[in-house]
Amino acid sequence: MSTEFEDGKDQDALRTIGEVAKALGIKTHVLRYWEQQFPPLSPLKRSGGRRYYRPEDVALIEQINDLVNVQGFTLKGARAALEGASELSPDVLPALKSIRAQLSRALAA
């Protein structure tokens, strides 16, 4: 999940909250709220409180957005999933996503 920004900047460039919000389709107030709810999401703040998101911040926002807005996790559940994901080996995550998808299809049937 790598967002393609259409602003002509290098992919590793710092992004403002407005640039990230526009690229991901998430309102700026939601991003500010997620900063409070997800401690690892900590953009650089310059004078006047202006936020600058690093590429790793954008990647984390994409994960949070997927968990909350695509998979239907609560914020508490998404936080737990992100904390648990850091403890799991990378090989386990695709299997867990597959199991979750199967359960969702079974419940929908």
Summarised one tens digit per residue, pLDDT across range 46-57 is 888 899 999 999
Lowest-confidence range among 10-14, 25-29, 88-92? 88-92
* CA-to-CA dists, residue 22 to 4, 15, 64, 73, 101, angstroms: 11, 11, 16, 23, 28
CB-count burial class (<10 Å; 0-12, 13-18, 19+) for 14 = middle
Model pLDDT, residue 97:
72
* Structure confidence by residue, pLDDT tens digits, 55-99: 999 999 999 999 999 999 999 989 988 887 655 555 666 766 777
Q: Domain 15-108's class?
A: mainly alpha
